[in-house]
Amino acid sequence: MSEPVRHRVVVRGNVQGVFFRDTARREAEARGVAGWITNRPDGAVEAVFEGNPDAVAALVEFCRRGPRGADVDSIDDTGEEPEGLSGFQIR
């Protein structure tokens, strides 16, 4: 079994008001990925994904395109030390 990984992503573009957070939550729960996602005041969406490397990579890839209706301009993806999070929440 692979060691868990953690990625923090900041997604910019038309990413608020398009069910980005809820869709990401469903994707994360389906893959067993822990973490959180939130709308930022600057119009971006920020998320932390923690879990199996392949599952986290799939969530980061999801963020590159977003749900239907989203228009992603850019994504910042930063690896971090896992904290042992459990569950996934919308903040």
Catalytic residue IDs: 21, 39
- 32: region left, alpha or beta (phi > 0 left; psi from -120 to 50 alpha): left
Task: Tell me 34's DSSP state.
Answer: E
Beta carbons within 8 Å of 69's beta carbon, 6+ residues apart? 14, 18, 19
